Amino acid sequence: MGVVIIDGTTVRDFVNNEAHFKKSVEEQFAALDVNNDGVLSRSELRKAFESMRLIETHFGIDVATPPEQLSQLYNSIFDKFDCDSSGTVDREEFSSEMKKILLAVADGLGSFPIQMVLEDDAQNLLQKAVDLEASKMKA
């Protein structure tokens, strides 16, 4: 795990950088699609949110949430992603919903940088947002 400083602009710049965002989402999707069937199942998607901890900022819950409540929450998230109710989440659905969530996170963060704890995960989208920001500073 690592602590990063992140604000709304960092996240928004990342989402608006279309090529970079698309590539990052595709990498994350591939990493999450454990059985390589081209779609995400409930458990595969759940892993995404467990590793991102995005849920804590976006949905305003903390890690002390009871397991049964968490399951309900993950189910409702899955239903949001699964636009056509096919029981699986495809690349398109994943990408468009991630975009919405990240923009909502950006709005929530505003211009006040906060410290966020991210798990060590190369496919973490928030980490990628931070990396993009860092690479700009170097340039």
Q: Which residues bind Ca ion (CB under 5 A)?
A: 33, 35, 37
| C-beta of 48 vs 106, nearer to Ca ion | 48
Tell me the residue type at 9.
T
Smallest distance, Å, CB 32 to Ca ion? 8
If the CB atoms of residues 33 and 93 are measured against Ca ion, the closer one turns out to be 33
12 vs 47 by CB, closer to Ca ion:
47
